[in-house]
Every structure is written in structure tokens, then in C-alpha cells.
Amino acid sequence: MSDGTPIIIKKKVSGHGGHHGGAWKVAYADFVTAMMALFIVLWLLNSSKQVQEAVGGYFKDPTGTSKKVGSNMVGSGESFNLSKQDMPKLKEELQKAIRRVTNFEKLKNQIEMTVTSEGLRIELLESEAGTFFQSGEAVPSSNGKELLNALAAELGKLPNHISIEGHTDSRPYSGNGNYTNWELSADRANAARRLMQANGVRADQVSQVRGYADQRLRKTDAPEDASNRRISLIVQYLTKPDEEDSAEAESSTRANEPSHSEKKTSKEPKKH
């Protein structure tokens, strides 16, 4: 340069910015939580009423309310602790299941479900030609097998015990003199048990297998009517924990109370 002014060159050094912090992690966690809550809500909306009550009961009282109204899972299906109040719901579910049976329209008048003092009673009524069992034999027909299989698949999900009864009409069994309506009714009940245990009912779920012959007629005024020949499945009530506690307390109270003779003796003066 002619004027001698020095040339100054400025260089900007760009360095790495400061630490951004973990705010993005918090935002991501909130997003994941919101998505999880959304999926839970969608699942609950598509669940049965019992499951919804179980979840609601848990959040209201995590100490055990949900156990009284909720469900236990057995295998891949839902199972419910069925009390007396829940039996009508089971009746509806079983009716839905048997509607899928092939010949339901022909069989619907031969199937009866009633909520009784024992539990839910399911009656499979025979016709003159034989509907669920071959006439005079303890061999289930194709209709009987399909219906018992459908019922077994549903009942096997429950923790409730099941009792199975066999009934006949009052006509004497024609055949071997040593084989009567007593044997036939018991054998049909056992045949139903074997079939159902092979298709969903647990081995420890059947509490009783009974054969009544013609001692508990459905139509007492028509003892030879075909509908007296039937298989009865009884889904027994489960005793709730609070009911068990009250029963035990009552039993304990009675055990501690002196008997009538003891009270009388205690009031009498001792004789010397």
C-alpha cells in the first residue's frame, strides 16, 4: 500500500453450541404416556362390562374391590367369578354361543336355561325320536355332541363348579333286565361329562354326576312324556369372600354359645 495502512483480516471461528438440555426427552415421554392412555381407553371401550367394572373398581379401591366384580384369566378367554347376581349375564352369553350351533332352529325348543337357587340350570330335553342321545342308549347324537361341545367351551372359562344330572321318563327300560332307568340316567350324565371334559371343562370343575332315573320328573302330570328324559347342567354359585367370612363368623358364634342343656345345667344349683 502506498499509504502504509496495514490490512487487518478478521476470521470468525464457529464453535459447537451450548448443551441443549433434556427437554425433548420429557416431551417424548409425555407423548408416549398419552398414546398408552389412548390405547387403554380404546381397549376398555371394546371390553365387556365386567372388565370395565374391574378396572374401575381397582382405581376406586386398590385394596380389593376389583376382586369382587372383576375377572380372572384362564387360558386365552375371560372368566368371571359368577355370583347369583351375575347368572343372568352368563345365561345371555351361553344363549349367544348355542345360537351358532348348526341346527339351532330345530333344537331351540329343546333347550331351557333357568336361574335357580342352585345356580344356572341348563336343560337339554329329549324328543320322542331322540334329540341329544340315541334312543335308549347313553351315546350322544351328533346334535348332542355339537351342543355339549359349545357349552363346554364357554363353561370351561369359569371358576364355578358344575354338576351334571341324568333323568328319564317313567317308562321301564326295555332290554337287559339288569339295566334300568337308573343306569341309563347315570350313564348319560357320565357320557356328557366325558365329552365336555374333552372339550374345555376342567377335570376338577365337575363336582357331581348324578342319575335320578324318573324320580325328578319335569312333568309330573305326564310321567311318560319325552321331555322328562333330559340332561341337566347346573353352574353352581360361587360364594363371595364376604359371604364366607360372615358364614364362618356365624358358625364360630354358634360353636361358642352354650347348648340349651348346658344353659339349663348352669342355672341349676349343685346337689350335694
Asked, for residue 151, whether it belongs to a domain, the answer is yes
Q: Are residues 214 and 80 in the same domain?
A: yes
Amino acid at 172: P
Separation between Cα atoms, residue 188 and residue 152, nearest integer Å? 16
The 10s digit of each residue's pLDDT in 57-103 is 666 665 554 444 444 433 333 444 566 777 888 888 888 888 888 88
* Residue 198: CATH number of its domain: 3.30.1330.60
One domain, residues 206 and 88: yes
Kindly give, in sequence order, each residue whose CB lies less than 8 Å from that of residue 222, ignoring residues fewer than 6 positions away: 228
Task: Decide: residue 167, CB within 10 A, 0-12 exposed, 13-18 middle, 19+ buried.
Answer: buried
The verdict on residue 260 lying in a domain is no
- Quick: pLDDT tens for 199-243: 999 989 999 999 999 999 999 999 999 999 999 999 998 865 444
Where residue 2 falls among pLDDT bands split at 50, 70, 90? Answer: low
What is the domain range of residue 52?
26-69
Is 208 or 251 the better-scoring residue by pLDDT?
208
Together in a domain, 173 and 222: yes
Please check whether residues 51 and 135 belong to one and the same domain. no
Q: Is residue 268 part of a domain?
A: no
Q: Would you state the cell numbers that stand for residue 107, as one nine-digit string?
A: 333344537
Alpha-helix residue ranges (DSSP H) falling in 156-209: 181-197
70 vs 67: CA distance, rounded Å: 5
Residue 104 belongs to a domain: yes
Does the structure show a pLDDT above 70 at 19?
no
Distances (CA, A) of 32 to 23, 25, 44, 55, 80: 15, 11, 18, 21, 32
Domain for residue 256, yes or no? no
pLDDT computed for residue 229 by the predictor: 93
Q: Is the pLDDT of residue 166 over 50?
A: yes
Which of 80-84, 170-174, 246-250 comes out lowest in average pLDDT?
246-250
Residue from 166, 82, 68 nearest 125 by CA: 166
Q: How many domains is the chain built from?
A: 2
Residue 267 has pLDDT above 50, yes or no: no
Same domain assignment for residues 43 and 120 = no
Extended strands (E) in 96-176? 111-115, 119-125, 162-167
Considering the domain architecture, whether residues 60 and 77 belong to the same structural domain is answered as no
Same domain, 97 and 160: yes
In a domain, 64, yes or no: yes
Q: Which residue has the higher pLDDT, 59 or 107?
A: 107
3-state secondary structure of 207: strand
Mean pLDDT for all residues in the chain? 77
Residue 43: inside a domain, yes or no? yes
**95 and 167 assigned to the same domain:** yes
Residues 6 or more apart from 91 whose CB is under 8 A from it?
113, 115, 120
- Co-location of 32 and 96 in the same domain: no
Same domain, 225 and 91: yes
Residue 78 in any domain: the answer is: yes
**Shared-domain flag, residues 84 and 33:** no
pLDDT interval class at 256 (50, 70, 90) = low
Total length of the chain: 272
Residues 200 and 235 in one domain: yes
Which of 45, 69, 93 is the C-terminal boundary of a domain?
69
